[in-house]
Chains A and B, each alone.
Chain A
């Protein structure tokens, strides 16, 4: 890419690779610290299904071989890293012959769709409100009302989700309570399905939006106040430019830049929040997959979901970091951080 020094890209790339490697390693090490033998769990599941299992020792050995846990640890680890790189997380133990990657492939589009939509809405609303909060020409009423709404900022989306669910789904019945589309609708590109998806997605998206827009608004307000004191704004005012023009072209444009970095740092928390929202709304995304896997002690799925979400987070941070110098040419690359 033009304009970005190679050392900067190299630095970011190293961080990305390290993040993925550390996450994958942690996910691999943790289950191995536990005294529980996954082969015995699988055997227990079989026994529970069949009533009794003959030749259990032999089956255990076979299960261990098929899971690869009869190999030395180093080989297990290398094999695991190799598999993870091609998104092979093994086979789900709860829904047995289905590979974990197939389950994730089903859930991922829902999560991504919900996330991108709610992120875009909050980023726009939040930054617009924050800018107006700091602008001295905003009506007084709005300047008092916006901070009051800001109190919701601190609440995690799962709580707002519960509240919205209770009011709009359980009490008023305006929106469906759970799921990501109606049970009676066939998935497809027709209006019945799309409208069902929209009505099921509104509450989850809304519960994320109402608690996250304040974060952007607060940050934006602080940045706007800083920008207001800058000489170029004073000059623009002295030149007699229209206040609205100054607001958009001079102030917001400059103030929004650090918000994009904040965005990169916040992605991880936002994703975690959304996982929980999906869990309470039983939305067909990664959150529900994760929750079901926890209930069923389905370790391959738990590992796969965690890894994919961490990977997504790391990738988005990487992309934001790469785009940032293009948006703000003033940034110095040599420091690497922030």
Chain B
């Protein structure tokens, strides 16, 4: 999957060796980043070149299929709606252009906040130790077993409509535990490392040791943990949306799927309605996975062989 078919074995071997030396050049990372960027590009280019009013006004015919297909009523796709329309006559392309970046935004924002909290707590726990460490450790142990979706279902069913930002904030409350645990464990093992002892002996301040000496070594782990929590956040956000919660007035991929299922799109063979958002989500998740695998190879050289 990762290797392009090359004719010369030695050329291939050289490429592998180069990749082994510099894991940041791995094709997994490149492909993963490419997939994620294509979603971002869809959002940016779409905003520039496509009429997005079609998201709010269902002025088109209902349930029109994408170009080149025919629906059960025998209508075929038109250029006005290249990806078809949904059950309310909204343009699918416009929905995706707005919905996909929204979904990605929630994931990134929630994880950024969660990561920042995780870094602070993880370092504090690992460095300060004692009571503080115990409290943080128990708290993250406890929170890690609570599925975010279920608490958020309670939150959102009580408060009804939420904004994208609020949803991201709510999800962030459930993605700080893994980074906290990871960083704490790393800090504990690093604290005794030679170069940290050295820095301490030469009178460096604690913040200096934390952020100048230790943090750079954690970068690959942090990236990996960040990508993992983006995935968790998006899964949670989509889950809430598919249950009919989450933002009600802004299109998101999960909400499009929710509307499609409720309208019986599966049985009516309106595959583009639920299928296109599903496809975009799949592209995002595969992109995130590939980036994560690539980063794993950066931090664990033993994995670099496939």
Contact = CB atoms under 8 A, between A and B. Distances in A.
Interface residues of A, number: 66
Chain B binding site: helix, strand, loop or mixed by DSSP? helix
Interface in B134-153: 137-138, 141-151, 153
B239 A272 contact: yes
A19 B243 contact: no
A86 B142 CA distance: 22
Interface in A252-274: 265, 267-269, 271-273
Interface in B226-255: 231-232, 235-236, 238-239, 242-245
A337 B141 contact: yes
Q: Which 5 A-B pairs have the closest CB atoms?
A: A154-B289, A154-B285, A272-B149, A268-B147, A306-B150
Interface in A170-191: 170-171, 177
A154 B159 CA distance: 30
B145 A280 contact: no
A47 interface: no
B293 to A, nearest CB: 8
B303 A268 contact: no
Given A147-B1, A177-B266, A279-B242, A314 B145 contact: yes
B218 to A, nearest CB: 17
A18 interface: yes
B14 interface: no
Interface stretch (A69-77, A120-128, A290-298): A290-298
Interface string A309-335: 110011001000000000000000000
Contact of B235 (A36, A267, A269): A269
Contacts of A273: 235, 239
A148 B302 contact: no
A56 interface: no
A303 interface: yes
Contacts of A26: 151, 154
30 contacts: A18-B142, A19-B142, A22-B142, A27-B151, A27-B154, A31-B158, A34-B158, A36-B158, A154-B231, A154-B286, A155-B281, A156-B235, A156-B285, A159-B282, A162-B257, A162-B274, A163-B278, A171-B269, A218-B293, A222-B300, A225-B305, A265-B144, A269-B235, A275-B149, A302-B153, A306-B150, A310-B146, A310-B147, A310-B150, A338-B181
